[in-house]
Chains A and B, each alone.
Chain A
């Protein structure tokens, strides 16, 4: 049981770690695929992304 739980914990930590790394090295689509003139003011709550 300890080994099984250790595997679950490792999987969760690895997934969160990868998410943090990718979020740091990648730009959000609202920045990567638009020019300054086309960007929306508040991408998280304005047209793009969750909101």
Chain B
């Protein structure tokens, strides 16, 4: 009995020693989730570009299986920080540039005034195509800018409810007016491509700055000068890129996955900013920037002196086509 008692005491002492010795080690091995769990940033950064953390689902939307797509953070960062800079520099920069140009150069006026004789510059279908594409473009541009910057610029002005209603209808307009815009783009390409092939005359026009930098300079030009050809190709190439990228946004996930979709939204947004800036320059020179220019698309007829100053070779071509002694398709002043 004494033996067993001493054995029991010894065992108790050993357990006590073990308890005090083992306690710090046990504390060190306790579960500490914030210290030992996989860090989210480390996990996401380990994924390669385009990788996703996906699961398995049973609903028909396969894309819902993607739980986390790290590239989405870069995409969100682009829209929040880089796109406003690109848009601001391109659009506001163009507005400032045009304002400065107007203040320095003033309106480009006809050197010899209006002749009173008009010449048909654009047929009805050409003007229809221009205004179809232009009117769609204006709605697409404004509604697109609202998508990108409306939350920052428009929401504080009108409040959440009005902004929500307006944005909903603007989004519908953006989606569906894209189709007549694409139709107009194709029609424009077909009817004006033959007059917009670059040639050596354009180099001369460019060397002289288009004659718009100083009074009295009028480099020769055919139906479209180099500046107008530039606008044509900006519209065709820019419009095609906008249409292609827009098509992928209209029908998301049909052509590719969410990563490709994000790439196309970036392309859509950047091209849109540059496109809008270029069209501001086009609108300026076609309205307040140049005397007599708006009539070309307004009524289809321009003054003969305007045509001779800005498209001298085109006037000669038209004269050559006309019966002797008359100006082709010339119309008396109204």
Contacts of A38 in B (CB 8 A): 59
User: In the complex, which residue of chain B has the Cβ closest to the Cβ of A18?
Assistant: B179
Known A-B contacts A10-B180, A15-B173, A15-B177; the reply to A33 vs B135 at CB < 8 A is no
B131 adjacent to A7 (CB under 8 Å): yes
- The tally of residues in B whose CB lies under 8 Å from a CB in A reads 23
B60 touches A6 (CB 8 A): no
Q: State the CA gap A32–B64 with chains docked (Å).
A: 13
In this complex, what residue of B is CB-closest to A8? B135
Q: Is the CB of A32 within 8 A of B60?
A: yes
Enumerate chain A residues within 8 angstroms of B60, measured Cβ to Cβ.
32-35
Pick the residue among A10, A18, A19, A35 that contacts B59 (CB under 8 A): A35
User: Are A3 and B180 closer than 8 Å at their CB atoms?
Assistant: no
Q: Is the interface of B mostly helix, strand, loop or mixed?
A: helix
The smallest C-beta distance from B250 to any residue of chain A, in angstroms, reads: 9
Establish whether residues B183 and A14, one from each chain, have CB atoms under 8 Å apart when the complex forms.
Answer: yes
CB nearest to B183 among chain A residues? A14
Residues of A within 8 A of B132 (CB): 7, 10-11
Partner among A8, A14, A33 whose Cβ is within 8 Å of the Cβ of B179? A14
Decide if B276 is an interface residue (CB 8 Å cutoff): no
Contacts of A6 in B (CB 8 A): 128
Q: Mark A1-43, 1 if CB is under 8 A from B, else 0.
A: 0011011101100111011000000000000111100100000
Interface size of A as a range: 10 to 19
Chain B residues with CB under 8 A of A19: 172, 175-176
Q: How far is the CA of A16 from the CA of B179 in the complex (A)?
A: 10
A34 to B58, CA, bound (A): 9
A11 engages B135 (CB within 8 Å): yes
The answer to whether A33 and B64 have CB atoms under 8 Å apart is yes
Say yes or no: B58 contacts A35, CB within 8 Å: yes
**At the interface, yes or no: B119 with Cβ under 8 Å from chain A?**
no
In the assembled complex, the CB of A45 is this many whole angstroms from the nearest CB of chain B, namely 16
Residues in chain A near residue B180, CB distance under 8 A = 10-11, 14-15
Q: Does B61 contact A (CB under 8 A)?
A: yes
Contacts of B177 in A (CB 8 A): 11, 15
Complex Cα spacing A15 to B184, Å: 13
Write out the residue numbers on chain A whose beta carbons fall within 8 Å of the beta carbon of B61: 32-34
Residue with the highest number of chain B CB atoms closer than 10 Å, among A8, A10, A15, A35: A15
Whole-angstrom distance between the Cβ of B129 and the nearest chain A Cβ? 8
Tell whether B127 is near chain A: CB-to-CB under 8 Å: yes
User: Which residues of A have CB within 8 Å of B172?
Assistant: 19
- Interface flag for B124 (CB, 8 Å): yes
Bound CA–CA A47/B157 (angstroms):
29
14 A-B pairs, CB-CB below 8 angstroms? Answer: A3-B127, A3-B300, A6-B128, A7-B131, A8-B135, A10-B128, A10-B132, A10-B180, A15-B176, A15-B177, A16-B176, A18-B179, A32-B60, A34-B59
Nearest first, the 3 closest Cβ-Cβ pairs linking A and B are A33-B61, A7-B131, A15-B176
Chain A positions within 8 Å of B, measured between CB atoms, are 3-4, 6-8, 10-11, 14-16, 18-19, 32-35, 38
Chain B residues with CB under 8 Å of chain A are: 58-61, 64, 124, 127-132, 135-136, 172-173, 175-177, 179-180, 183, 300
Known interface pairs A4-B127, A10-B132, A33-B60; 14 further A-B residue pairs with C-beta atoms within 8 A, sorted by A's residue number: A3-B131, A6-B128, A7-B129, A7-B132, A8-B135, A10-B128, A10-B180, A11-B135, A15-B177, A18-B176, A33-B59, A33-B64, A34-B61, A38-B59
